[in-house]
Amino acid sequence: MNRDNHYEAAFDAFLRARGVAVVAVDEARRSYIDETSIKSPDFLVVGEHDARLVVDVKGRKFPGGTSEHPRMVWQNWSTREDIDGLDFWTNRFGPSFRGVLAFVYQILPCVELPEATPDLFEFRDRVYLMRGVCVRQYRTTMRQRSPRWGTVHLPTADFRKAVKPFSHFLGPRSVESKQITAENAEFAES
């Protein structure tokens, strides 16, 4: 965890407010396995109902773009290294762990979401929306975004099918949240 990163600090506070056991991983140090450098996750999370998660946080603003030209798109890009690292640690910790990309969206004041929106969280005078995607599901439909920067993303339709309120991952594995299939504006309400 990078303590200066407001997205990660908000995510940490979100989990602690729910009484979840959280281990923030020091990102300043890389992990090495057999002299191979592996990207460390941001958090290890143990919740009720045997939830065991290896989490990498992706902070994004909504809407993106500029104030003159806002982009009403739920950005979901990551680096291939993040995906590979989450897969590695999930496998290393064993089958009871799940790798999850946590998309922490800072909702800008120009956007108003319904109060009943799941996993909407206020922290330090900002509003955040906590969403997650299982890294294995992400990997199955990810597309290259930038070869130069090593980034990948999900096409919008695939992201809508995969993304869930983050609290979904804290519950029993057998519980399924409804999938998000509506337009971007309805994404936050699911």
- Tens-digit pLDDT profile for residues 87-109: 999 999 999 999 999 999 999 99
Structure tokens at 163: 């993304």
Sign of CA dihedral 148, 149, 151, 156: negative
d(CA 101, CA 72): 21
The confidence score (pLDDT) of residue 33 equals 64
- 22, 133, 168, 92: CA torsion to nearest 10: -50
d(CA 182, CA 190): 9
Q: What percent of the chain is predicted at pLDDT more than 70?
A: 84
Query: What's the rounded mean pLDDT across residues 110-132?
Result: 94
The confidence score (pLDDT) of residue 35 equals 65
Q: Is residue 31's pLDDT more than 80?
A: no
Least confident of 26-40, 108-122, 139-153, 162-176: 26-40
Give the domain ranges of the chain: 6-187
Q: How many other CB atoms sit within 10 Å of the CB of residue 147?
A: 8
Q: Is residue 40's pLDDT more than 80?
A: yes
Q: Is residue 84's pLDDT more than 50?
A: yes
6-187: what CATH class?
A: alpha beta
